Structures are given as C-alpha cells and as structure tokens.
C-alpha cells in the first residue's frame, strides 16, 4: 500500500438480511465511494450477522491489521436485533452507557413524531431509550430521518463511525458525521479516472498491455472491463491514476493511455 493510498479503512455491514441475500448491500459501495474521495482507502468490506461478538471481532481484526477507521452500517435501531453498538463498545474496550445528549436527541425525535401523528405517543419506552445507550465517551451524530443517532467512537488514533442501515438515514448521518471524521482522514489523493477504448475484444491480449502500462507509469491502475465475447467487440479499459495533485494524476492518466495503446498495437502486430 503506497503512501498515496490514504487512511486505511474497513467497512462492516451488519444484518442478517445481507447474509440471506434478501438485501443487496448498497450502503457499503456508497460509503466506499464517498470516503474514497475524501482520503480513505477501503481495504475490506464485510457483512456479518446481528451479533455483538461478531461485530466486535471484525472491528478488532481490522484495527489489528492496521486500519485506523472502521465504518459500520446497520443495527442502531430500537429492535432486539439492533446490537451493533454493543460490538463497537466491546471492540474498543468500553462500557455501554446512556448518553444524556443522545437521550435528548431520541426524546426530541419521538416528541416530533408524536406531534406529527407518526407514533401513538412520544414516551421514552425501554426500546426507545436503548437508542441512547452508546459506547462510553462516544459522540451521537444527528439523524434527521430516523430515531437512532449515529455514533462516533474513538480510541486514540482509532475511529469507529457507526451509521444506521436504512440507506436514507445512513447517508444523512454520514454527512452529519463528516466534520468530526474529516480531521482523522489523510489528505485526499487526487484521483483521475478515464475509460479508453482498445479496439480489441480480447482481455487476454489487453491484460499484457495493461500490465506494461502499470509497470512504466507510477500510481496508475488499469482494469479491462469484461463483457461477453462478441464479434467486433471493443473492450474498454478504465485507467485510475492517483497523484498528489490533479495535474500529476491527469498526466499519469494520459501517459498510461498512451503506453496502453502503443503496447497493444505492438502486441497485435507481433
């Protein structure tokens, strides 16, 4: 992993519906795209069952492998199977405690929902209070869509951001957490992506030219975009270049495209 790669990050998606295949995990790709643009380097995405021990294990393993940021999604709500925060607390070795600020948030949300007629009443019942029980010293993050706050928990240089699982809530909480997360991210690498046609339908040839371009141009990654074989098929290659500024990334992209085309022509003449 080069120093250009960014903050080492893993994503832990929590929920049995992901493991039965009933729900496709679109959250992780969304988080990866947004965080990648902000300076994170996503090394691994894992989906596990709603079990605090499993969540804790994934977070601990990620940290042990060198991740400095773990983002979880799912398991923050009021239901019996929303147990992600117990896993987060165990992973960083703190207790779960009721947070006054989180309780105030939950109380306010249920008061709003009761006033709007969306729930029968706004009382702080046991399942509702449960959403204000966070890892000790964590910070709640505003959730303008649902009732469970997001959670930012830190332990030295290690950070866990726990997001809800409902996509609309996840996205809002992510954006609200950004001011807290950003200081913990590396300076974003500048990334330029370009797709180029190859005039060739055969990945087994294109790969040789792509490997050549990656060898001679630093900081670039080329990937042919496979499709079904067809006569006259013109496969495309996606060039991703990282650089310390945009000009460097652009220049690397252009050089890689040139090297790819030249080598491809040479191979097909050979």
Where in 214-243 is the site for a copy of itself (CB under 8 A)?
214, 221, 223-224, 226-233, 240
CB closer to a copy of itself out of 188 and 201: 201
Q: Least distance in Å: CB of 248 to a copy of itself?
A: 19
Give the x/- contact pattern for a copy of itself in 76-105, rule: CB under 8 A. Answer: -xxxxx------------------------
- Residue 73 engages a copy of itself in binding (rule: CB under 8 A): no
Show Cβ contacts of residue 175 under 8 Å, excluding neighbours closer than 6 positions: none
CB closer to a copy of itself out of 79 and 136: 79
d(CA 96, CA 137) in angstroms, rounded, equals 9
Q: Least distance in Å: CB of 137 to a copy of itself?
A: 25
d(CA 188, CA 38) in angstroms, rounded, equals 5
Q: Least distance in Å: CB of 54 to a copy of itself?
A: 8
CB closer to a copy of itself out of 24 and 156: 24
Position among 134, 206, 241, 256 found at the interface with a copy of itself (CB under 8 A): 206
Position among 97, 111, 145, 180 found at the interface with a copy of itself (CB under 8 A): 145
Show Cβ contacts of residue 40 under 8 Å, excluding neighbours closer than 6 positions: 6, 7, 9, 69, 185, 186
Q: Least distance in Å: CB of 124 to a copy of itself?
A: 10
- Residue 42 engages a copy of itself in binding (rule: CB under 8 A): yes
Sign of the dihedral defined by the CA atoms of residues 158, 164, 170, 174, in that order: negative
For the segment 102-131, give every residue that binds a copy of itself (CB under 8 A): 113, 116-120, 125-128
- Residue 64 engages a copy of itself in binding (rule: CB under 8 A): no
Task: Report the length, in residues, of the chain.
Answer: 270
Measured torsion, CA atoms of residues 168, 171, 176, 179, in degrees rounded to the nearest 10 = 180
What tokens appear for 267 in the block? 């191979």
The span from the first CA to the last CA of the chain, in angstroms, equals: 35
Give the x/- contact pattern for a copy of itself in 154-183, rule: CB under 8 A. Answer: -----------xx-x---------------
Q: Least distance in Å: CB of 254 to a copy of itself?
A: 21
* CA-closest candidate to residue 52, choices 14, 83, 11, 82: 83
Q: Residue 136's CB: how many other CB atoms inside 10 A? A: 13
Unique residue bearing structure tokens 């496709």 = 24
d(CA 197, CA 179) in angstroms, rounded, equals 40
CB closer to a copy of itself out of 137 and 211: 211
- Mark the segment that binds a copy of itself (CB under 8 A) among 19-27, 88-96, 246-254, 258-266: 19-27
């Amino acid at each position: 992993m080069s120093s250009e790669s960014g903050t080492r990050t893993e994503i832990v998606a929590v929920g049995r519906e992901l493991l039965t295949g009933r729900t496709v995990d679109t959250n992780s790709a969304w988080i990866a795209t947004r965080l990648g643009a902000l300076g994170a380097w996503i090394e691994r995405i894992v989906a596990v069952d709603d079990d605090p021990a499993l969540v804790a294990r994934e977070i601990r393993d990620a940290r042990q492998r060198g991740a400095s940021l773990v983002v979880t999604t799912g398991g923050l709500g009021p239901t019996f199977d929303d147990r992600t925060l117990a896993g987060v607390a165990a992973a960083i070795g703190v207790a779960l405690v009721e947070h006054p600020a989180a309780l105030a948030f939950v109380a306010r949300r249920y008061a709003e929902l009761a006033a709007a007629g969306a729930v029968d009443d706004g009382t702080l019942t046991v399942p509702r209070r449960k959403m204000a029980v966070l890892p000790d010293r964590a910070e709640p993050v505003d959730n303008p869509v649902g009732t469970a706050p997001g959670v930012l928990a830190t332990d030295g240089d290690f950070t866990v951001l726990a997001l809800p699982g409902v996509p609309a809530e996840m996205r809002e909480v992510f954006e609200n957490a950004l001011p807290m997360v950003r200081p913990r991210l590396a300076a974003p690498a500048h990334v330029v992506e370009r797709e180029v046609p190859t005039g060739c339908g055969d990945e087994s040839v294109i790969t040789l030219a792509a490997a050549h371009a990656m060898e001679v141009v630093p900081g670039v990654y080329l990937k042919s975009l496979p499709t079904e074989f067809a006569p006259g098929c013109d496969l495309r290659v996606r060039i991703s270049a990282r650089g310390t500024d945009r000009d460097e990334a652009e220049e690397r992209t252009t050089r890689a495209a040139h090297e790819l085309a030249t080598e491809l022509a040479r191979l097909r003449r050979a």
